[in-house]
Each structure stands twice: as C-alpha cells, then as structure tokens.
Amino acid sequence: MSHRIAVIAGDGIGTEVIPEGLRALKAVAERFDIALEFQTFDFGSCDYYLEHGKMLPDDWFEQLKDFDALFYGAVGWPEKVPDHISLWGSLLQFRRRFDQYINLRPCKLMPGIKGPLAGRKPGDIDFYVVRENTEGEYSSVGGKMFEGTEREVVIQDTIMTRTGVDRVLKYAFELAATRPRKKLTSATKSNGISITMPYWDERVEAMAAGYPEIAVDKFHIDILTANFVLHPDWFDVVVGSNLFGDILSDLGPACTGTIGIAPSANINPEGNFPSLFEPVHGSAPDIAGKGIANPIGQIWSGAMMLEHLGHQEAADTLVKAIEAVLESGDAQLLTPDIGGKGTTQSLGRAIAEHITA
Ligand code: ATP
Ligand code: MG
C-alpha cells in the first residue's frame, strides 16, 4: 500500500528545504521498500495569495482530506502579506479543519550542536513536548466593555472540555509508555489559575490511574520553564495546555541549539484526517534565496511523518543519518548556522547519501 503525501513548500526557505526533505524521504523509502507518493501543491504560499487573493483555493479541504499526511515547508512573508493573513489562511486552517489536536515537538540535543546550555551533551536532553492544539487559552470567547472609557474591561475566556483535555493527555501517556524512562510531566498553574488548571490537574490524575507504570509529576509553568534550562535531563514527555504548550514547545527546542534543526508535527492521532509535518522555523526571509538554510528541521519532520505512518525503523534510520552527518563535523557539508561552510544542498545530500550507503 502506498502512502499519499501532499507537499506544500510555502514561502522563503520553505521552498529550499522541502526538496532536501523529499530527497531524504525518497532515499529512506527506497532502502526500506516503502511506497511514498508525493503530490505538490502551490497554494498555502504568499505568492499564491498575491495571485488569487486567498491563501488556499475554496476546495482545499476536498483536495487534501484523503492524503495520508501533509509535508509542509514554511509559510509567511510579512513584506508581501501580513502574518495574520498568511498563517490564519493556511496552517491554522489545516490544524482546525483536520482536527490536529496534538502539537508534538522533540527536544533532543544532537551531536556536534553547541546548544545554549553549558556542559550539556547529547543524551542529556531528549524529551518531547506535547501541546494541546485546539482549545484552552486560545479561545475567541470574551469581549470588551466600556471601551474607550476609564472603566474599560477586557475579558477572554479559557475553554477546557473534558474531551479536549482527556484526548491530549491520553496521547501524552501513550507516548510516555513507549519510552524507556516512562515519565510524564504535566505543566500547570493551579496555584494561580483557580478553575481551569485545577481541572487540568484532576484529569491528569484520573488518566494516570490507567497508567500505573508511568511516573507522573507536575510543575507550575513558571518553575517548569526554569527547570527546562536548569535540569533538562529531568524530562521525558511534557504535556501542556495550548498556551503553556506553546511556550514550552518554543523553549524546549531553543534549549537544544539552532532553530534550523527542530522538527514538529500537528497530529490527528485517529487518522480521520491527515496530520501535518513541518520544521519549527519559519520562512526566514533574511536568508531566503542564499541556499544556506539548514534542511535538518525539514528532514527530521519527515522522520516524524514516517513514524506516524507506522515506519519506525525507517524513521530511526533517518534520525541516525542526521546524527551521523552532524557528528562528522565536516564543515564543507554543514550549513553556516551550525558552524559550517556548506549549503542547504550539501547538507541534504550528505544525509541522503548516508542513508543509501
Ligand atoms: P516565523 O514568523 O514563522 O517565526 P520567521 O521567518 O520570522 O518565521 P524564523 O524562520 O523562525 O522566523 O527564523 C528566525 C531566524 O532564524 C531567521 O531570521 C534565520 O536567520 C534563522 N533561521 C531560521 N530557520 C533557519 C534554517 N533552517 N537555517 C538557518 N537559519 C535559520
Ligand atoms: Mg518569527
């Protein structure tokens, strides 16, 4: 059976790193005899918007819904199209309509990468951040009263549903169960946010009862962020609400070095709709067109996609190829952001060749 992948490169360096992501995926698919079928779409980019007045065609949902996964580059080019239009018009539509309620980011210190935390070596930092992606603090419920007067009042509500909270927790517990350390950390703030966060804690406890083999702890978000920096080795799977998860899923990868290598996944675990795999970085207009963007975030996102599609060994092989090339420290291959003199292509090729070799 062939997996059908929709490819959307988007803007800026998205169009430069996508070909390297595909190169690596094709190499690993060939080695493991996995049938991948790629179809490329030009929508979901600012150029498409400038031509059509919208980020996506009206029938995008029909066009994409039957794919097994979406492989996305990066979207946004603020000089051409304001971010709230480009982002809301594409990625956030996918997230919402395809019910990608999990945002997953591995935070792993790779060999040869000088992370910002002194004295940390590969193996010290190796955890996942699981973010709730559809509800919580990012609701549009609320309003303003007495606007423009001294009595102005502004309210925005947090919405937590039992279904919404339980499904992200279940995903996080299941993920922790697959990991050697079997540890789950919950981000909370129930000492300050007195209704929703105690509810979150309550659901964590209820879910934990079904997973006696998993060690569970919780931290308030303030000290948790401090501990990401001070004790990143404490963490294995960290789960948080939409807002807390948003903060942690930027901080986590930042603790492991350059933004150019971090991958992410927006997942619909049931597979009712396609999940989306994209690097953490954006379109980086400042380096676009120079051929120096690091393709590892895109390639690693491809590994997450393979894992999601059920090809664990192929995914592991791809990550190992990334690690091997980084470990080689060969400046001719590596991109400038990680201390090399190479290009997007030289690094992408080296990883693909390592898989084939
Ligand atoms: P967004 O608004 O989505 O965050 P952005 O374009 O504002 O996107 P990023 O793309 O996240 O910001 O990048 C921030 C900076 O990090 C860029 O200006 C660039 O210099 C650097 N950077 C990002 N991605 C890469 C990459 N793949 N390789 C090398 N440097 C990168
Ligand atoms: Mg930015």
Atom of ligand 1 nearest to the CA of 281: 11
Q: Is the pLDDT of residue 140 over 90?
A: no
> Is the Cβ atom of 298 under 6 angstroms away from ligand 1?
no
Residues recorded for the chain: 357
DSSP state for residue 337 in the 8-state scheme:
G
Q: Is the pLDDT of residue 30 over 80?
A: yes
Measuring from atom 25 of ligand 1, which residue has the nearest CA?
A: 260
- Which amino acid does the sequence have at 346? S
Q: Where in the chain is the domain with CATH 3.40.50?
A: 136-255
Q: What is the pLDDT of residue 240?
A: 98
Measuring from atom 19 of ligand 1, which residue has the nearest CA?
A: 284
**Tens-digit pLDDT profile for residues 48-78:** 999 999 999 999 999 999 999 999 999 999 9
CA distance readout (Å), 270 to 33, 101, 102, 177: 25, 10, 11, 18
- One DSSP character per residue, 216-251 reads EEEEEHHHHHHHHHH-GGG-SEEEE-HHHHHHHHHH
pTM for this structure?
Answer: 0.95
Query: With bands split at pLDDT 50, 70 and 90, how would you rate the model's confidence at 84?
Result: confident
The residues, ordered by sequence, that sit 6+ positions from 255 with a Cβ below 8 Å of its Cβ are 107, 109, 115, 116, 117, 125, 228, 229, 232
Q: Where in the chain is the domain with CATH 3.40.718.10?
A: 1-111+260-357
Contact yes or no for 238/133 (Cβ under 8 A): no
Query: With bands split at pLDDT 50, 70 and 90, how would you rate the model's confidence at 258?
Result: confident
Measuring from atom 18 of ligand 1, which residue has the nearest CA?
A: 284
Measuring from atom 10 of ligand 1, which residue has the nearest CA?
A: 282
DSSP-derived pairing of the beta strands 3-10 and 36-41: parallel
Q: How far is the CA of 17 from the centre of ligand 1 (A)?
A: 12
- Find the range with the poorest average confidence among 110-114, 290-294, 317-321: 110-114
> Is the Cβ atom of 287 under 6 angstroms away from ligand 1?
yes
> Is the Cβ atom of 262 under 6 angstroms away from ligand 1?
no
Topology of domain 136-255, per CATH? Rossmann fold (3.40.50)
Number of Cβ within 10 Å of residue 289's Cβ equals 11
Cα separation of 135 and 243, whole Å? Answer: 9
Cα separation of 282 and 332, whole Å? Answer: 25
Using the Cα atoms of residue 57, residue 60, residue 62 and residue 66 in order, give the sign of their dihedral.
positive
Measuring from atom 3 of ligand 1, which residue has the nearest CA?
A: 282
Cα separation of 29 and 235, whole Å? Answer: 32
Measuring from atom 21 of ligand 1, which residue has the nearest CA?
A: 284
Contact yes or no for 297/307 (Cβ under 8 A): no
> Is the Cβ atom of 13 under 6 angstroms away from ligand 1?
yes
CATH 3.40.718.10 fits 1-111+260-357, yes or no: yes
Write down the number of H helices and E strands in the chain. Answer: 12, 12
Atom of ligand 1 nearest to the CA of 297: 27
Alpha helices in the chain (DSSP H): 14-31, 46-52, 60-64, 83-88, 91-97, 162-177, 196-208, 221-230, 242-254, 296-308, 312-328, 344-356
> Is the Cβ atom of 342 under 6 angstroms away from ligand 1?
no
Q: Is the pLDDT of residue 165 over 80?
A: yes
**Tens-digit pLDDT profile for residues 259-313:** 899 999 999 999 999 999 999 999 999 999 999 999 999 999 999 999 999 999 9
Cα separation of 31 and 29, whole Å? Answer: 5
Q: Is the pLDDT of residue 257 over 90?
A: no
Pocket test for ligand 1, best of 287, 296, 322 (most atoms within 8 A of CB): 287
